[in-house]
Amino acid sequence: MKKIAVFAIIIFLALMSCRSTKKLQTAINKKDTIANITVDEDSLKTLENVMDNIHKHYIDFKTFSAKIRIQYEDSKGKQPDVNAFIRIQKDSLIWVSINATFLSIEAFRILISKDSIWILNKLQKQVEYHSLSYLEQVAKIPLDFKTLQDLIIGNPIYMGNKIVAYKKTENRILISTVGEHFKNLLTLSASNNYLIERSKLDDINLAFNRTGDLTYYEYENKGGVFFSTFREITVAEKTKVDITLNFKQYDFNNDLTFPFNIPKNYKRK
């Protein structure tokens, strides 16, 4: 249960990551090549338009709150569903309450700052403190606060600063980027505001052989913000993990509190 809870905090960040999420800052000119093909004028304009739309759909916010039903399956089979209640103060705090659906009680409460993580285990009356690097240990990846924040919000993640391939079909646009640690093949909808449909991650270092597959469904437009309310994540290294995230409700920019009181009878683990 604890493992599921920790994965739930990071929205099951058994994904791949680089040490920091880089904004795509690729300057493309007529001499650049994509997939060894010189970019012509039309392709250049289309690609520039696509990148503009990716940045336009980047979700900026002050606060965020959500209720997420999480399903998790690994080599041991399907695990019990959990509900995660999440609150975020941008670039500052991530607060999570994990409810075990089969027990109908709050099992864990977690508070993440830019450098630390506190975990209240209410089932065993324990409290744990870790540096933020604990998330990297659990997820087996380099990870920072902003990457975690963007993953929860649904912003593009792990986009490298070098475009190496580009393809446009009738319904979709594919862009491949390379970053410090991963290749990212991004699939966008050509007919629906260039929204992200899929992000396929492959480790550059073959010794790790980590792969991740994120798919985004059921977008809603709330106040001009396009938000994916249903997501599937598949991660594979030595074993395979499948995660489904179903956002039952969500809100941006409401006044939030982040209650995190440690009872005196809780033991420090």
DSSP 163-223: EEEEEE-SSEEEEEEE-SSEEEEEEEETTTTT-EEEEEEEESSTTT--EEEEEEEEEEEET
Provide the domain count of the chain: 1
Strand-pairing partners, residue 222, are 225
Contact between residue 255 and residue 63 where contact means Cβ atoms under 8 Å apart: yes
Q: Say which CATH number the domain at 122 has.
A: 2.50.20.10
Domain that holds residue 51: 2-268
**What tens-digit pLDDT sequence spans the chain (269 residues)?**
444 445 454 443 333 222 222 232 333 333 333 443 344 566 677 777 778 888 889 999 999 999 999 888 877 788 778 889 999 999 999 999 988 766 678 888 999 999 999 989 898 899 999 998 887 777 666 678 898 899 899 998 888 778 888 888 889 988 888 888 788 899 999 888 889 999 998 888 777 777 888 999 999 998 889 999 999 988 776 777 788 999 999 999 999 999 999 999 999 98
d(CA 194, CA 171): 10
User: Whole-model pTM?
Assistant: 0.82
